[in-house]
Amino acid sequence: MLRASPDTKEAFRCYFDAGMGPAEAIRHHEAMLAAQPDGPLLLANSSVNPIKRSVYWWHGEWKDYKYGPEGNPVAKLQEKAAMYAAAGTGVLKTSISNDCWAVVVVTPIMHRAQRLESAQDIIFVDSTSSCDTEGNTATVLLTGYQGWGSTNSCSRAQFADTNATVQHSNF
């Protein structure tokens, strides 16, 4: 069995950057190889068509590089905070302990939506539960109101216990 070429690995990184997961990237890559005149030979060549296990490993490496290691997404977010600020996105982070934290992200479109007269008195809150492997929760606040003293935001939080939930509600 041949080792995958650097060009093949780079092609899969591009697929991941385009939003494909490992399974979709494999299907796409195999379809592109099969469409070529010597498709069956290319599909049998593991330097051009890597095994699934390699692709999943590359996706894990890509995910760690792009989003940081599992267990501490806050460090990667802090690393990218300046880039987000340059794009007009505000990021605010608070921690009670290493395993209890909250992050608020305010995007330019959220600011624009808040300025609409029809949206100024509306509050929409949506939470997902266990949105990642760490069991973190994402809460989307599409708009806020003057009484909160905060703008619309998306917060992502990990709570160690129910007391942290109460503290987060005052965030």
Q: What is the pLDDT of residues 90-141, one digit of tens each?
A: 777 777 676 677 777 777 877 777 777 777 666 666 665 545 666 666 666 6
End-to-end CA distance of the chain: 55
Query: What proportion of the chain, given as a percentage, has pLDDT over 70?
Result: 64
User: Which of the pair, 59 or 75, is modelled with greater confidence?
Assistant: 59
Could you tell me which of 68, 75, 72, 67 has the C-alpha nearest to residue 158?
Answer: 72
User: Which of the pair, 125 or 155, is modelled with greater confidence?
Assistant: 125
Mean pLDDT for all residues in the chain: 76
- Cα separation, 90 vs 108, in Å, equals 9
Angle, CA of 21, 25 and 28, to the nearest 5°: 140
Please give the model's pTM, rounded to 2 decimal places.
0.60
In this model, does residue 148 exceed pLDDT 60? no
